[in-house]
A and B are shown apart, each in its own frame.
Chain A
Amino acid sequence: MALLQISEPGKSTNPHERRLAVGIDLGTTNSLIATVRSGEAIVLPDEEGRYLLPSVVRFRAEGSPQIGYPALDASINDPMNTIASSKRMIGRKTADIKSLRDQLPYNFDDESANVPRIITADGPRSAIEVSAEILTALKKRAETSLRGNLGGVVITVPAYFDDAQRQATKDAAKLAGLNVMRLLNEPTAAAVAYGLDQGSEGIYAIYDLGGGTFDVSILHLNKGVFEVLATAGDSALGGDDMDRLIAEWLLDDVDDEELSSNSQFLRQAMVSARTAKEALTENTSTIVSLKLPDGSSREIVLDRTTMDEIIAPVIDKTLIPCRRSLRDAGLDKDDIDGIVMVGGSTRVLSVKEKVERFFEKKLYTDVDPDQVVAVGAAIQADILIGNRSADEMLLLDVIPLSLGIEIMGSMVEKIIPRNATIPVTRAQEFTTYKDGQTAMSIHVVQGERELVSDCRSLARFELRGIPPMAAGSARITVSFKVDADGLLSVSAREATTGIETQVDVKPSYGLTDEEVEQMLRDSITFANDDIKARLLAEQRVEAERVILAIQSALDVDGDKFLNDDERSELVKGINKLKELTDSDNAESIKQAANDLNQLSEVFASRRMDASIRSVMAGHNINEFSE
């Protein structure tokens, strides 16, 4: 083990040291990782110089999983153990996956209580674990290439991902040992990559068609502020669907039963379909060679016009969210200055044609549609970790789907409407239905429909101990908080007694914290890793973050807001944590960091207070300034 470095007491670790931050585009088909080096965002290649990592993981009975190209190569011969498109399954419950099943060749483990798992040669695996493998591979790539540990990451998600899908993505990152600073919406990330590049001002639509997801966001760009006005989409629509339609056309005369019994064959047809689709972005016609189940092979000519007809339903389906996003933003097509095209599927010519015809505006396609999202995420990561001033840029994003709770008659009462700017907090008062009712069940849902059964169920919890009163007398306030990642937490409070229930909305069918913890321990990824060493390293990073945050605040504002006693208390706390950081007791480091955080609360409140006062005082008088 390397010698531990101990800094001189009382001196902070160099605050100007650049910390390593990366942006990750965790895609349906391919994933990428990017960072900012010498002020420029770059996508990191693998050892062979390839930027894309196919989002494919193959689980084997022996040895560690294969990730990326080797897995992709094996997918035709070993389709049941090679998992692609895990993004389509992440955060979805068994019933949702069932509707996707005819598109997915895998065997599912139906007995699993919360999260559907795919049976592989290496045991049942959930989409979260598959995504964690991909993230781990990217993490290794970055740490090798940047020669250091990652301080923090920004991971992109489709703007239209609901709470459960976001939470599941965050769980995957946790499994991969990544510190997620922010979940960033993919179209917003793309806008950042474009906007900062070109200093654009105006209103833009970001049309993002990936392998399995579609988003459209309307953004107002002005002086470094990226304000999302509205977003819409379909989190189960993408290039995969085009491939499937083309594959079905290719196999038109092959017996359905034979097809469904031969998953290897279907997989192969999908791959041929994708190759043909890609070839038709360059050529007007292509030849597809196909091996049939009976062993014979066949060559089929596919021309562009025919393909355009085959895939038209997918493209037309994307125009519905386009229309809705405009409507929600309160805008007409005329108000839009340009369309930014993002995602590999926008290479398809008829996608470009139809989008241009719909908006009647110029398309921006000059940044590589595969890389643009990762680049935007890297820029945001660089800011969040403190390498670059946040003054340069501000992202104001929205929640894609309304949040509400179940009321009488299985109806939904909306509490936060879709397209509300985040972070957002809303409270709503409810009352009891029966005389003497002492408990209330609260069911949180997400979606636009009026009936609970048509929305996504996020969580259920109970508020107990309501004092018996006449029906309608109790006052229960339910507060919804959506943070800057788009993640929800809910609390409920009964007014007359002050009973409070706090729930972190872990989706009803998602993983519990304990399950994530357990997976962390069991995970193949970390079989060779000493779990203790990892926890210790994580606590140290966290302790350093806390020290750095409080020390730099002290340096700037310590004299202004603290008396000598308060100040020396804080310094004492910092020194104590510093000393412990060098020990190898993760638990006591954690404790000391918590203590220090608590100790700094008064200081933090005074600083924030002064800050908002100074802004409100008309932007000129600041009673605290010298």
Chain B
Amino acid sequence: MMHTPLENDFFDLFGIGRTYSLDRRLLRDRFRELQKKFHPDNFASASDHERRLSAQYAALINEAYTTLNDPMQRGKYMLSLHGINLDEEHDTGMDPEFLMQQIELREELDDAQSSIDALARLSARISDEFSKREASIGEILDNTSEQESQLETARHLVRELQFLVRMRSEIEDAEEALF
């Protein structure tokens, strides 16, 4: 029953090009346009089956939007379209340099726990590291002549984003605990 939207990828659903660097404003406009049509509120007096379908579509549109709107999830999703999955449990090959950096960042977080300023500095650094990787991922995924080895690099970068996202949330928890 859901075949139409599921046959297509999320980019098609929003009618935008399959690129990592995307116009988030346009994405949001298209998202709203779709929800204006398919949200269950439009079907409150429709037949039961139409109501059920609208709930399914609306959930799918929400999922697609959440995925594409988030740089880490978007990267993960695009890699999956290339048949590459980020299976965390069986993944070993992390860049040694980044592993070192991870340890360093963790230590800094431990030291910064009780200082709002230190946490803010760390948070800014994480944002910076995040943006750098976002740009590199875009360069690889949006390059039409991408090669296998480059996709592997992109996979590493997306995994690093995952780590940075976790760090960010831990910093926020630490900040919240200080108030």
Contacts and interface: CB of A to CB of B under 8 A. Distances in A.
Interface of A: 152, 181-182, 222-223, 225, 227, 320, 323-324, 327, 380, 383-386, 390-391, 394-396, 420-426, 481, 483-484, 545-546, 548-550, 553, 597, 600-601, 604-605, 607-609, 611-613, 615-616, 618-619
Interface in B62-85: 62-63, 65-66
Contacts, number: 121
A320 B178 CA distance: 11
Contact of B33 (A481, A601, A615): A615
Interface string B6-19: 00100011010000
B50 A608 contact: yes
Contacts of B66: 420-421
Interface string B44-62: 1111111001111111101
Given A386-B44, A484-B40, A608-B54, A421 B15 contact: no
Contacts of A605: 1, 49, 53
A608 B60 CA distance: 14
B47 A600 contact: yes
A626 to B, nearest CB: 20
A386 B46 CA distance: 10
B73 to A, nearest CB: 12
A323 to B, nearest CB: 6
A324 B169 CA distance: 12
A607 B52 CA distance: 13
B59 A425 contact: yes
Nearest to B36: A394
Given A394-B41, A395-B41, A483-B55, A613 B47 contact: no
B164 to A, nearest CB: 15
Contacts of A601: 49
Contacts of B4: 609, 612-613, 616
Contacts of B36: 225, 390-391, 394
B34 interface: yes
A616 B8 contact: yes
Contacts of A383: 41, 44
Interface string B139-176: 00000000000000000000000000000000010011
Contacts of A386: 44-45
A424 B59 contact: yes
Contacts of B44: 152, 181-182, 383-386
Best-surrounded residue of B4, B15, B50, B66 (most CB of chain A within 10 A) = B50
Contacts of B34: 615
B49 A421 contact: no
B12 A616 contact: yes
B37 interface: yes
Contact of B32 (A394, A422, A425, A484): A394
17 contacts: A225-B32, A320-B176, A323-B179, A383-B41, A423-B62, A481-B59, A548-B45, A553-B46, A601-B49, A604-B53, A605-B53, A612-B38, A615-B33, A615-B37, A616-B4, A616-B5, A618-B15
A23 B100 CA distance: 58
A75 B179 CA distance: 40
B12 A323 contact: no
Contacts of B131: none
A600 B49 contact: yes
Contact of B49 (A395, A426, A483, A597): A597
A357 B75 CA distance: 40
B113 interface: no
A553 B65 CA distance: 29
A324 B176 contact: yes
Nearest to B55: A423
B90 to A, nearest CB: 13
B55 A420 contact: no
B55 A484 contact: yes
A550 B45 CA distance: 10
Best-surrounded residue of A182, A385, A422, A619 (most CB of chain B within 10 A) = A422
Given A225-B32, A484-B39, A484-B40, A424 B62 contact: yes
